[in-house]
Amino acid sequence: MLKTTLAGLRAHKLRLLLTAVAITLGVGFIGGTFVLTDAMDGGVQKTFARSAGKVDVAVLPAEDSGKGLPADMLARIRAVPGVVEAQGQVRGDAALLGRDGKAVGDLPTVGLSIAGGRMPRYEFDQGRAPKGPGEAVLDARVASRAKFRVGDTITVLDQRKAPHPFKVVGLVGVGLDPDAAFRGVVGFAPATAARMTGERTFEEIDVAGADRAAIAAAAGRGDHRVLAGAQLADELARAAGADTEVIRTGLLLFGLVAVLVSALVIYNTFTILIAQRMREMALLRCVGATRRQIFGGVLAESAVVGLVGSLLGLAAGVGLGAGALALLGGRGIAGPAGPKLSASDVTLAPRTVLVGLAVGVVVTVLAALLPARGATRVAPVVALRSDLEPGTARFRLGWARTAFTVLFAVAGGAVCVLGSMVMDKGETAMFVVAAGGALVFLAVIAVMPALIRPLGRVVGALPGRAAGVPGRLAVENARRAPRRTATTTIALTIGVGLMTLFAVIAASGKATSTQQLDRQFPMDFAIQGQYGDGGQKVPAALSQSLRARSEFGAIVELRRGDADIGGREARVATVTQSAFGGVIRPEFRSGSLGGLRPGAAIVDEETAESRNLRTGQTMTVQGLREETAGDGGEAPAGRRSPAGQPLRVTVAGIFRGDVPIRGLVLTEADFGRVYGATDPSQIFVKAAAGVPAERARAAVEAAAKPYPTAKFSSAAEIREEFTKAIDMVLMVFGGLLGLAIVIALFGIANTLTLSVVERTRESALLRALGLTKRQLRRMLSVEALVMAVIGALTGVLLGVVFGWASTRAMGESAVFALPYLQIAGFMVLAGVAGMLAAVLPARRAARTSIVESLSFD
């Protein structure tokens, strides 16, 4: 029986390859994911081995201690016998000014101490390490972004925002330091780094020479760790490698979707093949083959198909991984500071081979189980029949399938309602909706064969009329085998449904952000310090400059601070009093804005829930200030101390958190009593009536020019950045889910190809009755169009419904939006792609000889 199976496979090589295509694509995606992330992991390991490998011993602060290493520790370590060199790393903020005089980036560049000697932690692309107080180096990325090069003079702000000129003497690569790569780096000689950043402690001490025990003894007891150089490299690599784990997990999820679609295609393919070979299997039964042997033969064939598809998939995965490395490697791909990799770094690990083969073979064999079981039911008498046309039996829902469908549909619908309309909005509710959606999708899979005939009639009405007789024949062909058509189309339903879901969520996110900007905070410009969330203050003099200009109708200052409320820290804020009820209109869950007066406060609902606050409750607010590192030579960095006098306030109302203020909101007078005179964290500007946007922007830019770290953006720019971010995510998801759609289209092409073989005599008879080759090709194209549109339409309906439910689960203020044009585009693309998938099967059908096809064999 095994010889017979293998002989059949050798005799039908094209059929073997067509059957293996789907599993090849699925395994290729999974294999490519492992190849890509393995190369990234290898790059991470090599980078840290090259950098930290020059360090014999490293001393680091204890994890989560929030403290640096004191300066006297470095002196003690340098005194240890055998120490050849010891360097303390200083790290802080040192804002680089661009050629336009404004600070580079939304966050200040990192100020680092970069020393030469035996332990250079960073590799120089050009130049050398800084040696004197007037020299500095830049990381290559920020130098390119700000258009600086070796030999240029740059201006850097110290911790007091005073400018200092430096000559650029080198360009460095920052390795796998994500924060440094994101913000950019300005490197100084160690003493200069301490002066510019204001830091009095070290974030790390690296030692060459001596052993770990001696260094640990010199460091003494305290909140620090002593690691060997190899341990340091491993720890840093693990920290950076967390990014690759996230990437691998995310890509594998999409790979599993592709494999699921592949399984449906394989199942449908084997169902058709078994139906076409009924006489062959009946003949084998006549000559003595048992049911077990027939079953085993089909599974053996599926295993061979899975093995061939998996091997081809692994080869495709290596190609995909190499292509991804070639495309992304020059930019660094293990996070923003990833190593630069190329196609030469591709490796095929044994784990990748084993996983790819296991997934491909197991999925193929499992997909073939039901068709193989059906093959065992073929009676020997079937071999005597000459009029077989399998796969066209009318489908009826049995009681078991009906019960399964109703159970999963009702349960899934109830779970979706629970997540979208009953539960508290948030991440948990969205997961509940996703679980309900999975149950409903299983119900759709179960009932889909019963829907094919009515859906085929609706979808095929227009093409059936437009294409004439070939079109009507095509519609009937799509409806005549409900099980086959359902399995073919459900694969496309998965891909189109997920893409529609993400499109709806993305459109809803855009609509929600637009509504919140327009209704809750209709300001034209926002000015903030370089830290973004108010960590860096905006000079109060800037507000005065803005108020003195006629282009602006309203200037709103937002101030923030931290406070101790009942033994717990909380955010405290205040805004210009005239803004309430005008440009800032919070919606209250309890209480009202009218109660906000001296001695009272309002609080957002998230803060109220986390601290069990309620309207009418009285509390004491004690302001906190963060002490500067090394104040008086004793205060450690990050420690907070009381600011001003405690203040008793009463909660006058609890508002919903859809305005740009959070925490406990005080009047300006009460905020001043707690914190004294402070600069605003953000300034919001509204243009006067009738002032053109270009003129208002120029006025804001002119007013902010004397303040290098003041960053401003318009509401339109904020909306555009948010829209671009959503579009980028949607594009990535669409590209990844596109593989599932490609596999589904291969399934349509495979189904049509096998159907052409199955209907050879029927097609020849139609040709004999007058159907031309062009009409035959048109018939098969319309049949593919109808199947593709049925699958896409089902996917769109499911995607829209669950997109609505997911939007409802996001938050109370979420706005549902339907991207009509995108959804229409999905439908059109699915139809066109389905017709393209029919090109080769249609050509094969048209080339078949009429006489040979009508002959009896």
List pLDDT tens digits, range 650-672. 999 999 876 778 889 999 999 98
For 791-814, what is the mean pLDDT? 87
For the chain, helix, strand, coil in percent to 5 are: 60, 15, 25
The rounded radius of gyration (Å) of the Cα atoms in the chain is: 34
**pLDDT value at 627 more than 60:** no
Backbone angles phi, psi at 567, to 5 degrees: 85, 5
Query: What CA–CA distance (Å, rounded) separates 533 from 515?
Result: 21
Which residue type, as a one-letter code, is found at position 653? G
Structure tokens at 724: 């671009």
Question: 557, 603, 508: which is closest to 817 by C-alpha?
Answer: 508
With a pLDDT cut of 70, the percent of the chain lying above it is 83
Q: Convert the pLDDT of each residue in 558-578 to its tens digit.
A: 998 888 887 788 889 998 888
Measured CA to CA, the distance from residue 158 to residue 154 in angstroms comes to: 13
Task: State the Cα–Cα distance between residues 657 and 663, nearest whole angstrom.
Answer: 9
With the CA atoms of 528, 532, 536 and 539 taken in that order, what torsion angle do they form, in degrees rounded to the nearest 10? 0
* Main-chain phi, psi angles of 86, to 5 degrees: -140, 130
At residue 278, the 3 state secondary structure works out as: helix
Contact 121, 206 (CB under 8 A): yes
User: Would the pLDDT of 281 be above 60?
Assistant: yes
Proportion of the chain above pLDDT 90, given as a percent: 11
Pairing of strands 110-113, 185-188: parallel
What pLDDT sits at residue 257?
Answer: 78
- Give the residue from 273, 275, 297 showing the smallest Cα distance to 285: 297
Place of tokens 């016998």: 81
Which residue's entry shows tokens 């495979």?
Answer: 750
Burial class (CB within 10 angstroms; exposed 0-12, middle 13-18, buried 19+) of 430: buried
**pLDDT for 339:** 52
Task: Locate 617 and state its tokens.
Answer: 């409750």
Predicted confidence band of residue 44 (pLDDT cuts 50, 70, 90) = low
pLDDT reading at 385 higher than 60: no
> pTM, whole model, 2 decimals?
0.71
